[in-house]
C-alpha cells in the first residue's frame, strides 16, 4: 500500500484533476499482450484511473485468453478494443495513436517486442504502437530463458534506441513455479513511471555532473568456494544509478551484483571490498558526487586458503581483519585536498548509507561526523519492507549542516529521487 500511495502522490496535479472531464485528462492507451502476467494489467488499469487518467484498454486477441474484456470494461474509462475490424471506427489504430498522450504495454511479451521492434503491425495493438507519436512504455514479462535470449535483448536495444521507455522485469517466482528474472514489474512501479512521463518529470538538474555510485554486498573469500558476505541485494544502488542518469548525470556504477543496469550507465563489476575500493578511488578523482550505497564488509579473512577447506580436516582457524573504510578515505582525501586548495575535490558531495537495526539515527549521526561526509542516509533494516531484498525502503537523510529529511516507505526509485534532491541542493549552494 505504501508503494501505491507514493505513486498516487507523484500524480500531483493529474490526480487533482480526476473530477474534470475526460477531455482534459491525460489519455493513456493500456496495451495488454498475451502473457500470464496479463492479470496484473487489471491493477495497473485501476491505479491509473484512480490517479485521474483516462485509460483506453487495447487487448490482443490472445490476451483475452488470459484475462477477460469484462474486467477492463468495468474498470477502464472506455470499453476494450481488440480488433482492427470489429470496432465502430474504420481506423481505430490511427484514432488511438493520435489521441494518446502515452501508450503503455503491460505485459509486453517476447513476441510483441519482436513485432514492434521490426515494424510489424498485424493487430490493433501493434498498429497503434506504429501509428502513435506519443511516448511509449513497454513492460516486458516472460520466462527467464526467454528474457535472456539475445534476440529479445537486441529487440529491446532497438526500441530503446528509438526512445521507447523500458520498465524491466523483476526477479521472483515465475508461472512455471521456478524463480528468476522475468516477472512483470510491480503495478505500482509501472504506474509511477507512467505518471512521471505524463507529468513531464524531465528534471535534468544533474546535467554536466559525474556521479559514482556503489551497490551490492561485497564477498570476502575464505577459500576458493566460500566467502563472507551480507544480505544486500544492490537494488537501492541500482535505483540510484537509474535516477541519476534520468536526471542527466554521467553515471558510473560500481556493483557486486548481476542486476540489470539502466541504459547509459557505465558499470564496473567487482566482488571484494579491496576491488571496490580500488574502483571507487580511481573513479572518484573526476566525480562531482560519490554515493556509497554498497554494503561493504567490515571484516575479511586474514588468510585465504588456496584450496577448498574440508570438514574432515577439522575446524579451521578463521582470523578476521578489518577492511578499508572507503567512504572515510574519500572524506579524508577531500579534507586534505581542500586544505591544499584543490577546488574540484573539495567541492565533491559525499553520500553514505547506514543500515542499522537499533539506535539508527544516533549511529548514523556518528558515522556522518566520523567519516566527514555531507549526507548519511540511514535506514532501519529490521523494519518491515525496509532495506535488504525489498523493492521498498524508508530512510532518514541526515545532513552535515544539521538538516534531517524523513522519507517514509516508498519504492527505492522514489528514495533515490529524495537523495538526489538533497544532493542537487548541496551542489547549487556551492
Domain 210-428 has CATH 3.40.50.620: no
Looking at per-residue confidence, does 401 or 16 come out higher? 401
Instruction: Give the per-residue pLDDT at 20.
Output: 35
199 confidence band (pLDDT: 50, 70, 90)? confident
Helices (H), 199-325: 235-246, 273-284
Please name the helix (run of DSSP H) or strand (run of DSSP E) that holds residue 346, with its range, or none: helix 343-346
Instruction: Give the per-residue pLDDT at 224.
Output: 95
Q: Where in the chain is the domain with CATH 3.40.50.10300?
A: 210-428
Looking at per-residue confidence, does 377 or 93 come out higher? 377
Average model confidence (pLDDT) across the chain: 89
Looking at per-residue confidence, does 340 or 220 come out higher? 220
Q: Where in the chain is the domain with CATH 3.40.50.1950?
A: 2-198
Distances in Å between the Cα of 264 and the Cα atoms of 110, 202, 204, 251, 370 are: 23, 16, 15, 8, 34
Q: 14-32 burial string, b = 16+ CB within 10 Å, else e?
A: bbebeeeeeeebbbbbbbb
Q: What is the pTM of this model?
A: 0.69
Helices (H), 69-214: 69-75, 92-99, 110-117, 124-131, 144-147, 150-161, 187-198
**Which is nearest to 52 in space by CA: 28, 79, 80?**
28
Instruction: Give the per-residue pLDDT at 4.
Output: 42
Grid cell listed for 181: 528474472
Phi, then psi, of 271 in degrees rounded to 5: -130, -50
- Is 82 in contact with 64 (CB distance < 8 Å)? yes
Instruction: Give the per-residue pLDDT at 123.
Output: 94
- Is 97 in contact with 67 (CB distance < 8 Å)? no
Annotated catalytic residue: which of 118, 155, 230, 379? 230
Instruction: Give the per-residue pLDDT at 305.
Output: 93
How does pLDDT run across 109-164, given as a tens digit for each residue? 999 999 999 999 999 999 999 999 999 999 999 999 999 999 999 999 999 999 89
Burial of 196 (0-12, 13-18, 19+ CB in 10 A): buried
Angle at 284 between CA 278 and CA 286, to 5 degrees: 135
Annotated catalytic residue 118: no
Instruction: Answer whether residue 1 shows pLDDT above 80.
Output: no
Q: What is the CATH number of domain 2-198?
A: 3.40.50.1950
| Mean pLDDT of the region 229-245 | 93
How does pLDDT run across 63-105, given as a tens digit for each residue? 999 999 999 999 999 999 988 876 566 677 788 999 999 999 9
Amino acid at each position: 500500500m505504501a508503494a501505491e500511495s507514493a505513486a498516487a502522490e507523484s500524480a500531483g496535479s493529474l490526480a487533482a484533476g480526476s473530477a474534470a472531464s475526460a477531455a482534459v485528462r491525460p489519455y493513456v492507451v493500456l496495451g495488454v499482450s498475451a502473457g500470464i502476467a496479463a492479470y496484473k494489467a487489471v491493477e495497473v488499469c485501476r491505479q491509473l484511473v484512480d490517479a485521474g487518467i483516462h485509460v483506453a484498454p487495447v487487448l490482443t486477441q490472445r490476451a483475452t485468453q488470459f484475462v477477460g474484456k469484462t474486467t477492463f470494461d468495468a474498470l477502464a474509462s472506455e470499453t476494450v478494443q481488440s480488433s482492427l475490424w470489429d470496432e465502430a471506427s474504420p481506423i481505430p489504430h490511427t484514432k488511438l495513436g493520435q489521441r494518446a498522450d502515452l501508450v503503455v504495454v503491460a505485459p509486453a511479451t517476447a513476441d510483441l517486442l519482436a513485432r514492434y521492434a521490426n515494424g510489424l503491425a498485424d493487430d490493433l495493438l501493434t498498429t497503434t504502437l506504429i501509428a502513435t507519436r506519443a511516448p511509449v512504455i513497454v513492460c516486458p514479462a516472460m520466462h527467464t530463458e526467454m528474457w535472456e535470449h539475445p534476440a529479445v535483448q537486441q529487440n529491446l536495444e532497438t526500441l530503446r534506441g528509438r526512445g521507447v521507455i523500458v520498465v524491466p522485469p523483476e526477479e521472483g517466482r515465475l508461472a512455471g513455479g521456478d524463480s528468476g528474472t522475468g516477472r512483470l514489474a510491480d503495478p505500482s512501479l509501472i504506474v509511477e513511471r507512467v505518471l512521471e512521463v505524463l507529468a513531464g518529470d524531465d528534471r535534468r538538474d544533474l546535467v554536466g555532473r559525474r556521479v559514482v555510485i556503489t551497490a551490492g554486498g561485497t564477498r570476502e573469500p575464505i577459500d576458493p568456494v566460500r566467502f563472507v558476505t551480507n544480505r544486500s541485494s544492490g537494488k537501492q544502488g541500482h535505483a540510484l544509478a537509474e535516477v541519476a542518469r534520468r536526471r542527466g548525470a554521467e553515471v558510473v556504477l560500481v556493483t557486486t551484483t548481476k542486476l540489470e543496469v539502466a541504459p547509459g550507465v557505465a558499470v564496473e563489476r567487482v566482488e571484494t571490498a579491496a576491488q571496490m575500493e580500488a574502483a571507487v578511488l580511481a573513479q572518484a578523482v573526476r566525480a562531482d558526487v560519490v554515493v556509497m550505497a554498497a554494503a561493504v564488509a567490515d571484516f575479511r579473512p586474514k588468510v585465504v586458503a588456496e584450496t577448498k577447506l574440508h570438514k574432515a580436516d577439522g575446524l579451521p582457524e578463521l582470523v578476521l581483519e578489518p577492511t578499508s573504510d572507503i567512504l572515510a578515505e574519500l572524506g579524508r582525501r577531500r579534507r586534505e585536498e581542500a586544505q591544499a586548495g584543490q577546488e574540484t575535490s573539495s567541492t565533491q558531495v559525499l553520500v553514505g548509507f547506514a543500515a542499522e537495526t537499533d539506535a539508527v539515527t544516533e549511529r548514523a549521526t556518528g558515522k556522518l561526523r566520523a567519516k566527514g561526509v555531507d549526507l548519511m542516509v540511514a535506514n532501519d533494516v529490521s523494519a518491515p519492507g525496509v532495506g535488504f531484498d525489498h523493492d521498498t525502503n524508508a530512510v532518514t537523510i541526515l545532513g552535515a549542516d544539521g538538516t534531517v529529511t524523513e522519507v517514509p516507505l516508498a519504492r527505492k526509485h522514489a528514495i533515490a529521487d529524495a537523495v538526489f534532491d538533497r544532493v542537487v541542493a548541496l551542489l547549487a549552494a556551492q
